[in-house]
């Protein structure tokens, strides 16, 4: 029993100085999550605003294997936000999301189509 106690103390004390180092910097969070700066807006929210449609973007969520998690609409919407961020868009307006079965590389997928918007007056 004394050996067990001694071994336990040694093992627990070996973990006492353990620290976690990460390359995630809160100041660069938008760089790590490209779509974070792109808002999802309703068409009605754009009324009275000076905006420009940059182009239509598509976001995709794919279930690659039968035992993977099913595709989620939120993942497809976030992918559309990311695609819009590469165009320097301020926001997207989701037009439609569709479920697609038996696509070439996916067991199931969801595609969301959205307008990437640049708001001229800087308001989002």
The candidate with the shortest Cα–Cα distance to 119, out of 4, 39, 1, is 39
Q: For position 112, what pLDDT does the model report?
A: 97
Place of tokens 């807006």: 41
Q: Which has more pLDDT, 27 or 48? A: 48
Per-residue 3-state assignment (H helix, E strand, C coil) for the chain: CHHHHHHHHHHHHHCCCCCCCCCCCHHHHHHHCHHHHCEEECHHHHCCCCEEEEEEEEEEEEECCCCCCCCCHHHHHHHHHHHHHCCCCCEEEEEEEEEEECCCCCCEEEEEEEEEEEECCCCC
Is this prediction's pTM over 0.85?
Answer: no
> Which carries the bigger pLDDT value, residue 30 or residue 84?
84
The confidence band for 119, taking pLDDT boundaries of 50, 70 and 90, is: very high
- Radius of gyration of the chain measured on its C-alpha atoms: 23
pLDDT digits (tens, 9 = 90+) for 40-55: 999 999 999 999 999 9
The per-residue pLDDT for range 3-26, each reduced to its tens digit, is: 666 666 666 665 556 666 666 666
pLDDT at 123: 47
CATH 3.20.20.150 fits 29-119, yes or no: no
């Amino acid at each position: 029993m004394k050996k067990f106690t001694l071994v336990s103390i040694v093992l627990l004390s070996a973990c006492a100085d353990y620290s976690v180092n990460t390359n995630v910097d809160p100041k660069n969070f938008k760089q790590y999550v490209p779509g974070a700066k792109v808002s999802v807006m309703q068409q009605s929210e754009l009324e009275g605003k000076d905006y420009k449609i940059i182009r239509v973007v598509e976001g995709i969520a794919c279930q690659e294997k039968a035992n993977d998690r099913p595709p989620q609409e939120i993942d497809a919407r976030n992918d559309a936000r990311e695609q819009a961020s590469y165009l320097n868009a301020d926001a997207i307006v989701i037009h439609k999301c569709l479920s697609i079965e038996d696509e070439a590389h996916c067991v199931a997928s969801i595609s969301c189509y959205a307008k990437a918007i640049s708001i001229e007056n800087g308001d989002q």
